[in-house]
Amino acid sequence: MMTTSAKSALHLADIAAARERIRKSIYLSPCAHSQHLSVLTGQQIYLKLDNLQMTGSFKERGSLNKILQLSAEQKSRGVIAASAGNHAQGVAYHATQHGIRSIIVMPLTTPLVKVTATKNFGAEVILHGGNYDAAYEEALRICRAEHMTFIHPFDDPQVIAGQGTVALEMLEQVPQLEAVVVPIGGGGLIAGIGCAIKESNPKIRVVGVQTSRLPSMMAAVAEHHPVTIDAATTIADGIAVRRAGDVTFPMVEKYVDEIVTVDEDEIASAILVLLEREKTLAEGAGAAGLAALLQKKTSLQGAHTGVLVGGGNIDVTLLSRIIERGLVQDGRLIRLRIHLLDKPAELTRLIAEYRANIVDTLHNRAYYGVNLGDTVIDITLETRGREQVEELLAALTAEGYKHSRVL
């Protein structure tokens, strides 16, 4: 896909300058090799853990680079942004650190935890509109009225240069790097990384990953210009962007080799793998890159591959649902509906014999066409996995129990 005809909004020198500018205020996040993920994916996987930044996301790199280049007059008037998540916190934190007033306009639907976090970083939060587009328009209106500086989440060369600094770190941390896999929303991150990578070593492949529900950059590449796609909900809310950036799109055309998509279950599975096997908390957008590799979506084979885990700000209720759903998909949490005579003792003995753990039970004597004197019992069980489940089901059948898995 990479073309040489597109003009870049910035170059390697801009990203190198951004790195020197923000170096003292940005955590040099590790880029750790994972033996387990390397086996699972058939690559040599290195996780760039930018979810460990102060605000839990790479977004503060671009925000800080923009803030540090403001004139004295611009600083005195303050900055403003529209965001429901990581960009809001990055702007708020670094503006406050430099004594600059910040306003963040967030949709009315923004979770309270994100509103509170943004306020705690020092921003004035305005809740407006039912979606990001409405919040964005309100932020522009306030920006014009109060002559503030608007900090765009991705479509700004100074923001893009800041995001690209993560690639310079990866090149130093993994000298044998052959590919990078990067989530794509509006394109600011992959534009910066692509520029830094390709202008340092054109042989390194740059692969982008979008959620299949909102593949706005893929649509732009297909049409050769940014297009607005229909709104959709996704657990990867950090890359839920309906239109690629006007600045970022030509850079993606120039520097990115391949774009693939992942679906909701694939992202959820990657979140669970990172949490359980790597002890790393990632939000949906932060896990999208790994999801593509786990599902063999890319053309990469056996490469030394850097994967950006760009954010770890996930709602705990969503995380709990992801964990539960992942356990169900792995066969480690099942629910059985069993028809039996009203004598559950033998059933519990059998379950104990096969070392499954009973989490919950529900008896029904009036539903499901149950005969008088009989009962239907729904049992939620924890198991070691599918093999143990199949052994238990076979034993239940041998004992004459009628059963069906309903989860």
Does residue 374 carry a pLDDT above 70? no
pLDDT given at position 372: 53
| Cβ neighbours for 39, distance < 8 A, ≥ 6 positions apart | none
Sign of CA dihedral 288, 292, 298, 303: positive
CB 274 within 8 A of CB 309: yes
Instruction: Note the pTM of the prediction, 2 decimals.
Output: 0.88
Distance CA 393, CA 338 (A): 11
Inform me whether the pLDDT recorded for 125 exceeds 80.
Answer: yes
- The answer to whether the beta carbons of residues 89 and 57 sit under 8 Å apart is yes
H or E element in which residue 27 lies: none
26, 53 contact by CB (below 8 A)? yes
Cα–Cα distance between 47 and 334 in angstroms, integer?
Answer: 32
Q: What are phi and psi of 126, to 5 degrees?
A: -115, 120
For residue 7, the 8-state DSSP code is P
For residues 179-195, b (16+ Cβ closer than 10 Å) or e, as one string? Answer: bbbbbbbbbbbbbbbbb
Q: How high is the pLDDT of residue 345?
A: 65
H or E segment to which residue 241 belongs: none
Alpha carbon of 325 to those of 111, 120, 230, 264: distances in Å? 22, 32, 27, 12
Which tokens is 17 given? 């300058």
- Contact present, 14 and 157 (Cβ < 8 Å): yes
> How confident is the model at residue 113, as a pLDDT?
79
Give backbone dihedrals phi and psi of 55, rounded to 5 degrees, phi first.
Answer: -95, 5
- The full 3-state SS of 61-113, as one line of letters, equals HHHHHHHCCCCHHHHHHCEEEECCCHHHHHHHHHHHHCCCCEEEEECCCCCHH
Evaluate if residue 342 carries a pLDDT over 90. no
Sole residue written with tokens 């964990």: 323
pLDDT tens-digit series, residues 210-238:
999 999 999 999 999 999 999 898 999 89
Specify the residue for token string 């069993």. Answer: 338
pLDDT tens-digit profile of 145-175? 999 999 999 999 999 999 999 999 999 999 9
Per residue in 52-77, pLDDT (tens digit) is 999 999 999 999 999 999 999 999 99
Report in angstroms the alpha-carbon separations of 91 from 86, 239, 397: 9, 18, 60
CA 178 to CA 196: how far, in whole Å? 14
Q: Minimal CA–CA distance to 243: which of 107, 136, 87?
A: 136
d(CA 42, CA 44): 7
Contact 166, 61 (CB under 8 A): yes
Given a cut of 80, whether residue 3 has pLDDT beyond it is: no
Q: What is the pLDDT of residue 93?
A: 98
Return the percentage of the chain with pLDDT > 70, whole number.
92
Tokens of 315: 């709602």
Q: pLDDT at position 5, please?
A: 39
Of 1-5, 16-20, 238-242, 329-333, where does mean pLDDT reach its minimum? 1-5
Euclidean distance between CA atoms 95 and 92, whole angstroms: 5
Q: What sign for the dihedral angle of Cα 217, 221, 225, 227?
A: negative
Q: Which residues contact 269 (CB under 8 A, 6 or more apart)?
A: 291, 294, 326, 329
| Residue type present at position 40 | L
Do strands 205-211 and 179-183 pair parallel, antiparallel, or not at all (unpaired)? Answer: parallel
> Are 125 and 115 spatial neighbours (Cβ–Cβ below 8 Å)?
yes
Percent of the chain residues past pLDDT 90, beyond the cut: 70
Burial bucket for residue 56 (CB in 10 Å: 0-12, 13-18, 19+): buried
